[in-house]
Structure 1
Amino acid sequence: MNKDKRIAILSRLREANPTPTTELEFSSPFELLIAVLLSAQATDVSVNKATKGLFAAAPTPSAMLALGVDGVKQHIKTIGLFNTKAENVIKTCQILQDQHGGQVPENREALEALPGVGRKTANVVLNTAFGWPTIAVDTHIFRVSNRMKFAPGKNVDEVEQKLLKVVPAEFKIDVHHWLILHGRYTCVARKPKCGSCIIEDLCEFKEKTE
């Protein structure tokens, strides 16, 4: 895919959704970090249901530590892998308290050192909480980037590096939200909704659906 076509795609996505953001519900960098940590192999809808009560009870690392692993489990037991996730939440909160003054660090290495936090989670936090031009590649972005030929790659790291290279600076802050939402609601896994897609004529996917 050439540069002009990519810019046309991004311009249309921006026009349709000028201020995209995550569908996870949060009111602080700490809540976002915990929500993203919980969202692995779970839907945003299921995470939001669980965190509504969790964040009301524990909106800070110290309050979360006071709940303890069992207390966290009670709030998130509807989410997959909740046992491991509850332990990671408490370990993460302990590190935030001990090493970062109870604050979420605006630093990739420090974020990736937290239990249960990988590169993708760090990218989401840096982008959404702190406004960094990072691109978190999840299954939706991986699928859309390859299917459209927008930024093809064999794995998520390859796609991330390609996106960072080909997406112009003016679009970098928002591109991962646009592509996630596009993959979640239009360019879906089994049968993409090409007929109702605003970028169908620009997309290079050959087997378009009606």
Structure 2
Amino acid sequence: MNKQKRIEILTRLRENNPNPTTELEFDSSFELLIAVMLSAQATDVGVNKATRKLFPVANTPEQMLELGVDGVKDYIKTIGLFNAKAENVIKTAKILVDKHDGEVPEDRAALEALPGVGRKTANVVLNTAFGWPTIAVDTHIFRVSNRTKFAPGKTVRAVEDKLEKVIPSEFKVDAHHWFILHGRYTCIARKPRCGSCIIEDLCEYKDKTSDD
């Protein structure tokens, strides 16, 4: 795919959604961090359902520590892998209190050192909480990037590196939100809704569907 096409795709996505953001519900960088940690192999809808009850009780590292592992489990047991996630939430809260004065660090290495936080989670937090032009590649972004041929790659990191390279700086802060939402609602996994896609004429996918 050439540069002109990519810019047109990004321009259309921006016109359609000028101020995109995550569908996870949060009111602070700590709430965002916890929500993203809980969202691994879970839906945003499922995570929001749990955090609507969890965050009014514990929305700081200190309060989360008071709740303890079993307390956290009670609130997130509807989410997949809740046992491991509860352990990581408490371990992360302890590190934030002990090493970062209870604040979420605006630093990739420090974020990735937290239990249950990988590169993708760090990218989401840096982008959404701190406005960094990072691109967090999830299954939706991986699919859209490869299917459209916008930034094909065999691995998540390869797609991330390609997106970093080909997306102009003016689009970078919002790009991963556009791609996630596009993959979640239009360019869906089983049968893409090509008939209702605003970038269908620019997409280089060979097996486009005719209906929406």
Q: TM-score, normalised by structure 1?
A: 1.00
Runs of 4+ in 1 over 4 A off after TM superposition: none
- Write the mapping of 1:41-52 to structure 2, written as runs, cut at 5 A: 41-52=41-52
Q: Which residue type is aligned with residue 33 of structure 1? A: L
The alpha-carbon deviation at position 206 of structure 1 amounts to 1.0
The alpha-carbon deviation at position 136 of structure 1 amounts to 0.1
Other-structure match for 1:190: 190
- For 1:59 and 1:43, the matched residues in 2 are separated by 20
Q: Which residue type is aligned with residue 49 of structure 2? A: K
- For 1:160 and 1:207, the matched residues in 2 are separated by 24
Other-structure match for 1:10: 10
Q: Which residue type is aligned with residue 194 of structure 1? A: C
The gaps in structure 2 that reach 5 residues or longer are none
Other-structure match for 1:31: 31
The alpha-carbon deviation at position 10 of structure 1 amounts to 0.2
The gaps in structure 1 that reach 5 residues or longer are none
Other-structure match for 2:121: 121
- For 1:53 and 1:102, the matched residues in 2 are separated by 21
- For 1:85 and 1:105, the matched residues in 2 are separated by 20
Q: Which residue type is aligned with residue 170 of structure 1? A: E
Is residue 105 from structure 1 mapped to residue 97 from structure 2 by the alignment? Answer: no
- Write the mapping of 1:134-153 to structure 2, written as runs, cut at 5 A: 134-153=134-153
Provide, for residues 71-123 of structure 1, a one-character-per-residue CA deviation record: whole Å limited to 9, x for no partner: 00000000000000000000000000000000000000000000000000000
Q: Which residue type is aligned with residue 9 of structure 1? A: I
- For 2:191 and 2:75, the matched residues in 1 are separated by 35
Aligned CA-pair RMSD: 0.2
- How many pairs align? 210
Paired-residue identity, %: 79
